[in-house]
Structure 1
Amino acid sequence: MTYEIGKLNHETLIGPVVAAEDALARLDERVTRSEVGEGFAERADFFDSISSMWVAGELVHIEDLVLHDAQMDIRAPSHELVIAHRIVRARRRVSRNDPGWAVSRSGIMALAGVTEEPSIEAEPADIGGEGVELDLVDHDALSPELTEIDEVLARTKWLVDGNEPAEPRKQEPELSVGELLIRDPDWDEGERIGEWLELAKKVDGFPATLAAAVLWDAWEYLEPLQRHHWLGQALVSDFLRSRGKVRSHLLAYAVGLREVPRERRRARDRVSRLVAYLDAMSAAAGIGMKDIDRLTLAKRQLERKTLDKRSTSSLPVAIELLLSRPIVSAHMIARAAKITSRGALNLISELGVREITGRGRYRAWGIL
């Protein structure tokens, strides 16, 4: 499976490329100079995670994700919720590293939680004229014991099933039936990731937004990782950051993809798909600009409540938490401000924040 760039219709792409470049540049400048830029970036992680799951056909509630991130679940987390939280943690990890770290083989493998076996064999090293061999392979002293335990367990399973014990084979372990349902043994993830990384080098001369759109289209086509397809959106956002288009934060690209109809995102014509992806970048920038305006206005209104208050007041802590999370609960404010739940409710009533859930229990508030 090979992804070919081919010839692109520049007359059709030039308009969306210019619009996306301008929108992202304006958003980046606005976030850099905004007083709520840090809170906006933290909120974007949650919104991008929810939108990414929505684009993939899964529904996760924002309040469940925020409470799960704060380790205050009100119910047992579902499989979709766990994946959504992995997206949040992956975006935070990408943001902590240097721009372009995720768009590398080591970065992709680290984010996917896959460990590659070293391809370089251990060679003897001579230090100070004395022959000292460095063993780079046998670094775990318990490996032989663990292998013997696995062999005993394999023989025991054969006896339980009513078969004769067989000699252990030194071949690679076969995939079980359950793994075959979710993993293709012929799916060469390393080769596909290498092909995608080579494509990232080829589009280096393209405009940043057009290159990001091509990379996302290639990620959709190649599907390098079988169980981490959602990782591609974070990689595209980090690619834009490495190209200097969005330096202030990690773009919530999935938020823009959610605004584009599925028929356009899944069009048969590649140029139509690229135009849809460019429009998604413009849409994500537009939504981000509106969110910045909303947060800036909310912060100024909330800061008026802190006038003539004591320097030890917990209102600033509550305001900072409200600006960095889509929703907050009384327990989250109590833990952040190190006060009681009753004190947190008093802070919320004093700030006059709108309640979102409208329930008697597990109440939550936020800035809409």
Structure 2
Amino acid sequence: MTYEIGKLNHETLLTPMAAAEDALARLDERVARSEVGAGFAERADFFDSVSSMWVGGELVHLEDLVLHDARMDVRAPSHELVIAHRIVRARRRVSRNDPGWAVSRSGIMALAGVAEETFVEAEPVDRGGEGVELDLVDDAALSDLAEIDEVLARTQWLVEGNEAVEQRKRELEVSVGELLIRDPDWDEGERIGEWLELAKQVERFPATLAAALIWDAWEHLEPLQRQHWLGQVLVSDFLRLRGKVLSHLLAYAVGLREIPRERRRGRDRTARLVAFLDAMSAAAAAGMKDIDRLTLAKRQLERKAAGRRTTSSLPVAVDLLMSRPIVSAHMIAKAAKITPRGALNLVGELGVREMTGRGRYRAWGIL
């Protein structure tokens, strides 16, 4: 399975590409200069994770994801919630590394949890004037070593019995359940190599158009069998590598969520590329609105916290509210190192909106 760039319809792509370039540049400058930029970047991880699961056809509640990240679950985490939290952790790991780290074979393998194949080469040995050659063992020594290994294997079989041998045979066999989960003919290494080669080919294109192409290629090639969500994180890091969004990791899935599935999954590639470019513009627009809300909310909360003593825990609660979409009393208590009763008093003084509508296990936030 290959992906050919071919001839692009530049006349159709020019307008949405220019709009996406402008929107992302404005968002990047706004986040870099904003007083709530750091909190916005942390909140974006949760919003992007939930949106990524939504695009993939799974529903994860934002409240459950935030509480699970804080290790304060109110119920046993579901399989979807665990995957969503893995997306959050992957985005944080990419943000900590240099731009472009994720768009490499080692980065993809590390994020996907796939071990890379290692090859041990023989080292050249200098034999004192006889030239440099490989340090190889002669055939007689190899034969002796093979006999020793055979004797050791027989001794181990006699000691441990036949159970160990049977266990090794069972491990080598491919079970039916494994075939249902993984396709043995799915060569992830080769597909990742093809995608990385394409990422090099699109370097001559503008950043947004190149990002749309590598995302369309990721959808087409499907390099990973079980971590398809990783492609959206790679697109965001690719935009960071190209210098389009340097202030944070773009929440690309938030924009994809605003695009109808018929456009994202259309048969015409040009229509899909336009949809992906529009998704970047939508993600930037959503980010600008979130920045405005956070800036206004922080100023209001700082007025309520003004004039307090220096040991007050209100500033800690304000910072936590800026960095999390939803917070609970236990989260505030843990961050401020106070009791849950004291955290409830802080929430009452700040007058933050309650988001759950429940009498127990309540949560507050700025949405």
Q: CA deviation at 1:178?
A: 1.0
In structure 2, C-alpha distance between the alignment counterparts of 1:48 and 1:89, rounded to whole Å: 12
Q: For the pair shown, which has the larger CA radius of gyration, 1 or 2?
A: 2
In structure 2, C-alpha distance between the alignment counterparts of 1:121 and 1:132, rounded to whole Å: 10
Partner of 1:217: 216
- Unpaired stretches in structure 2, ≥5 consecutive residues: 136-151
Partner of 2:288: 289
Q: CA deviation at 1:132?
A: 12
1:299 matched to 2:298: yes
In structure 2, C-alpha distance between the alignment counterparts of 1:200 and 1:329, rounded to whole Å: 42
**Contact 2:17-2:208 at 8 Å conserved across structures:** yes
Q: CA deviation at 1:120?
A: 4.0
In structure 1, C-alpha distance between the alignment counterparts of 2:161 and 2:84, rounded to whole Å: 37
Identity of aligned residues (%): 81
Q: CA deviation at 1:308?
A: 1.1
Q: Compared with structure 1, are the counterparts of its residues 173 and 345 closer, same or farther at alpha carbon in structure 2 (3 Å cutoff)?
A: same
Partner of 1:140: none
**Contact 2:122-2:134 at 8 Å conserved across structures:** no
Q: CA deviation at 1:23?
A: 0.1
Q: CA deviation at 1:8?
A: 0.5
SS of the residue 1:74 aligns to: coil
* Counterpart residue type for residue 91 of structure 1: R
In structure 1, C-alpha distance between the alignment counterparts of 2:275 and 2:71, rounded to whole Å: 37
Partner of 1:228: 227
1:45 matched to 2:38: no
Q: For residues 152-171 of structure 1, give each alpha carbon's deviation from its aligned partner in whole angstroms, at most 9, with x where no partner exists.
A: 556556xxxxxxxxxx67x9
**Contact 1:65-1:85 at 8 Å conserved across structures:** yes
In structure 2, C-alpha distance between the alignment counterparts of 1:276 and 1:215, rounded to whole Å: 14
Q: CA deviation at 1:119?
A: 2.7
Q: For residues 256-310 of structure 1, give each alpha carbon's deviation from its aligned partner in whole angstroms, at most 9, with x where no partner exists.
A: 0000000000000000000000000000000000000000000000000111100
Please give the residue correspondences for 1:176-195 in structure 2 after superposition, counting only pairs within 5 Å: 176-195=175-194
TM score, norm. by length of structure 2: 0.90
Partner of 2:201: 202
* Counterpart residue type for residue 6 of structure 1: G
In structure 1, C-alpha distance between the alignment counterparts of 2:239 and 2:160, rounded to whole Å: 46
Q: Compared with structure 1, are the counterparts of its residues 73 and 126 closer, same or farther at alpha carbon in structure 2 (3 Å cutoff)?
A: farther
Please give the residue correspondences for 1:20-35 in structure 2 after superposition, counting only pairs within 5 Å: 20-35=20-35
SS of the residue 1:276 aligns to: helix
Q: CA deviation at 1:122?
A: 3.9
Q: CA deviation at 1:173?
A: 2.7
In structure 1, C-alpha distance between the alignment counterparts of 2:81 and 2:123, rounded to whole Å: 46
Partner of 2:273: 274
**Contact 2:317-2:346 at 8 Å conserved across structures:** yes
- Unpaired stretches in structure 1, ≥5 consecutive residues: 134-143, 158-167
Query: Which region of structure 1 is more displaced relative to structure 2, 278-287 or 118-127?
Result: 118-127
TM score, norm. by length of structure 1: 0.89
